[in-house]
Amino acid sequence: MAQTGSQRRTIASFTNYRDAERAVDHLSDNKFPVGRTAIIGVDVRMVEQVVGRMNWGRALLNGATSGAIPGLLFGWIFGLFDLINPLVAAFTLALYGLVFGAAIGALMGGVFYALQRGRRDFSSVTMMVPSRYDLVVDEEIADEAQRLLSGMSPAGGAS
């Protein structure tokens, strides 16, 4: 696949995203064409944070919660199509959708938990975490970006 656009140069590296974002904001405040910049997470690793033990109660509750929201939404939308009294129908069908969605979700949560047979008795959240954030700019305007960043207050953390 052919590369479109120009070559890019790293003009700064940051240990956290907030500082990289602050640098781009500084460039934007100085009328720099920020559409030609990018923040790139480097050395990305996957972190799975365990948040608790999974048991039958949690599996059913998680399933019910994940089923109740779409059920509520579908019931409300279908209720709006009632020509006689759409507000009452929307409320009533939304309530039925919430209950029905929660019941189906709990059932599915229980089935999926049973199918795992104790192999994964915990719940977790997965995140992608880079070790640093590089600010890259198109080569032909990189010198101007570096000049503007040199005037940024030291709290930015650029290296």
The residue extents of the domains of the chain are 8-49+130-151, 56-117
Instruction: Give residue 157's pLDDT.
Output: 46
Answer whether 118's CB lies under 8 Å from 126's CB: no
Identify the bridge partners of residue 8 per DSSP, sorted by sequence position: 138
DSSP annotation string for the chain:
-PPPS--EEEEEEESSHHHHHHHHHHHHHTT--GGGEEEEEES-EEEEEEEEE--HHHHHHHHHHHHHHHHHHHHHHHHTT-SS-HHHHHHHHHHHHHHHHHHHHHHHHHHHHHHHTTS--EEEEEEEE-SEEEEEEEGGGHHHHHHHHHTS-GGG---
pTM greater than 0.85 (yes/no):
no
Homologous superfamily of domain range 8-49+130-151: HD domain like (3.30.70.1370)
pLDDT in tens, the chain (159 residues): 334 457 999 999 999 999 999 999 999 999 999 999 999 999 999 999 998 888 898 899 989 999 999 999 988 888 887 777 777 788 888 899 999 999 999 999 999 999 988 787 888 889 999 999 999 999 999 999 999 998 887 654 444
Instruction: Give residue 120's pLDDT.
Output: 78
| Contact residues for 10 (Cβ-Cβ < 8 A; gap 6+) | 134, 135, 136
Instruction: Give residue 124's pLDDT.
Output: 86
Instruction: Give residue 154's pLDDT.
Output: 64
Answer whether 79's CB lies under 8 Å from 86's CB: yes
Closest CA to 11 of 155, 140, 154: 140
Residues shown for the chain: 159
